[in-house]
A and B are shown apart, each in its own frame.
Chain A
Amino acid sequence: MPEVTMENTMVVPSAPPEETRAERLRNFWSDYCQSWVAVLALAVIAVLLFVSFGASLVSPQDPYDMAALDWLDAFLRPGTEGSGGYVHILGTDNAGRDMLSAIFYGLRTSLMIGLSAGALALLVGISVGLTAAYFGGRVEGLLMRIVDLQLSMPAILLALVLVAMLGQGISQIILALVVAQYAYFARTTHGAAKVERGKDYIEAARSTPLPTRRVLFRHLLPNVLPPLIVVATVQVASAIALEATLSFLGVGLPLTEPSLGSLISNGFKYIHSDRYWLSIYPGLALMVTVVAINLVGDQVRTVLDPRNSR
């Protein structure tokens, strides 16, 4: 702690800079690299992001261009050459669609939904959590009561109900996921902010004529971010899994905008006829995505955990 003199009592105190941001980032990175599994997971995520958002560049076929599809190509086994003159590495589906391309495009939809739902839920959750922690009293009681109630209900059930009410479609799904998931962020923010709020630097910041908004977002928020990063990674993974589950159950995305879940759902119809590739490969893609994100989240949690600090 710097010594308190007459000059800096009026200055809004902040935590003394022990190390610069770049140093901290470098330390974080070297800690992160302690686990090669986590590094691998990060690499996998990078590849997945590349093939999904660059789906139109890397996939051999545009799976939703009906003109490019040929019924004669339906149910080709993996590794067969189709009428397009190239090998379908993962086979084709019932409409003659190249599975590899369908997976890339489906992955894009899944990732997009997961990321946007996660980001929106993060925003809503932070707002609710900070508001509750900062104002306390009745506001806190009411908000956290709602959050607790929601947390006690499984997200899948909540999402199911919401989708049933809202109908199918990408924006409806995202909305349902946000409502089902913001509570995790709100609870984490609230818990961390509650601890921080009792500390002297917030007390000091509040004693200055700074607007509440500034105290909240410039002073309180940065200090509650680390646990939120962990929750955010896990929630993105679970949003992707949730969306896939909803689509699998038939209440998620319509077949015109397939995600990995819809692909698996479509393939599920054929598992008794030995056409395993229709459901196994999109499922693998989903599993790899979700597990990789979770592994990254796990490692970030380990690195950020103060009990593990050197």
Chain B
Amino acid sequence: MLSFFITRIAQAIVVVFAMSVIVFVGVYAIGNPIDVMIDPGATQEIRQKLIEQYGLDQPLIQQYWTFLSNVAHGDLGTSMVYNISVVDLVFSRFPATLELVLVSVCIATCVGIPAGLWAGYRPNSIGAKLIMALSVLGFSVPTFWIGMLLIMGFAVELGLLPSGGRGDVGSLLGLPTSLATLDGWSHVILPAINLSLFKMGLMIRLTRAGMVEAMGTDYVKFARAQGLPDRQIVFQHILRNISIPIVTVFGLELGSTLAFAVVTESVFNWPGVGKLIIDSILQLDRPVMVSYLIMVVILFVLINLVVDLVYARLDPRVRLKGGA
């Protein structure tokens, strides 16, 4: 068990290093950021000074080494566009993304699970077919297009909700969040729905599959034979049994929701981390790109690691297969 842990953690570290090299070299390959930063009329001297200031004249290995040792000191560099530390920049944007993700996960769960239960409970009813059709839509129709439709419908045509931005930011438990103000809620609701649709489709499918499978099992038949009402069977017996895979997949999907936020944030002009990364790609803001990407890699490697370790703890067969 211990050796399994050590191998997995070592692998995770190797992956993070390998990815950091790939990201660094890859990002380095994109144009010269200096050209974007200064106006074309600047003298050669200013240009040279800037290049030296950012260490762009150094060989790539030297730059990577400087980057690594800075990272070790908790310094991810300075944004070339905003001219503030990347760490500060990302953390200033992070609450916005987090609240968006949380609201959308809540929506996906509160709608997805009951809908999935119903679709699995009466698989041949019209309601179930409708729910499944909607889940296909949520799954396959690109997020940005639905977001645009939401803006057109609710913001432009009906004029009910704002079309973008974050709105008033209040304070909740000492944290700045737009969930503390009514205006903030009116801003968050459309992007959150937009972001939740994919997750909701997934939820519906998972719950329905579990439900359909559970309906045929012995424990449900026995519960029926006992004369328990269907409601009790579904909520007390089936839901409890099918919730484990749902929770697992959902935990895994939390990370990808953060990534999908890139699209939603761009459509709704939501000032979160996702919008930041798109802007930094478009403006060739290298330090931000590299840091964000490495943070994402670390996040996903961590999620993977935790899942692996938890599974190994639960299922001895995984452990026996060894660190392959």
Known: A167-B30, A298-B136. A290 touches B141 (CB 8 A): yes
Chain B 294-323, CB-CB to A under 8 Å as 1, else 0, gives 001000110110000000000000000000
- Interchain CA distance A145-B139 in the complex, whole Å: 26
Is B142 part of the contact surface with A, judged by Cβ < 8 Å?
yes
Q: Which residue in chain B gives the minimum CB-CB distance to A298? A: B136
- Judged by DSSP, the binding face of B is helix
Chain A residues with Cβ below 8 Å from B137 are 291
- Interchain CA distance A245-B278 in the complex, whole Å: 12
- Interchain CA distance A294-B201 in the complex, whole Å: 14
How far in angstroms is the closest Cβ of chain A from B126?
Answer: 14
- Interchain CA distance A162-B19 in the complex, whole Å: 12
- Interchain CA distance A157-B259 in the complex, whole Å: 6
Is A250 part of the contact surface with B, judged by Cβ < 8 Å?
yes
- Which residues from chain A sit less than 8 Å from chain B, CB to CB? 137-138, 140-141, 145, 148-149, 152-154, 156-157, 160-162, 164-165, 167, 237-238, 241, 244-245, 248-251, 264, 268, 271-272, 274, 276, 279-280, 283, 286-287, 290-291, 294-295, 298
Let me know if B163 and A294 touch, CB within 8 A. no
Let me know if B259 and A161 touch, CB within 8 A. no
Which residue of the partner chain, among B27, B263, B296, contacts A165 with CB atoms under 8 Å? B27
How far in angstroms is the closest Cβ of chain B from A102?
Answer: 17
Is B130 part of the contact surface with A, judged by Cβ < 8 Å?
no
- Interchain CA distance A269-B222 in the complex, whole Å: 60
Known: A149-B300, A153-B300, A165-B26. A160 touches B281 (CB 8 A): yes
- Which residues from chain B sit less than 8 Å from chain A, CB to CB? 11, 15, 23, 26-27, 29-30, 136-137, 139-145, 148-149, 151-152, 156, 163, 252, 255-256, 259-260, 262-263, 266-267, 277-278, 281-282, 289, 293, 296, 300-301, 303-304, 324
- Judged by DSSP, the binding face of A is helix
Q: Show 20 residue pairs from A and B whose CB-CB distance is below 8 angstroms, ordered by the A residue.
A: A138-B324, A145-B11, A149-B304, A153-B296, A153-B300, A154-B259, A156-B259, A156-B263, A160-B262, A161-B26, A165-B26, A241-B140, A249-B262, A251-B278, A251-B282, A268-B267, A271-B151, A283-B149, A294-B136, A294-B139
Let me know if A148 and B30 touch, CB within 8 A. no
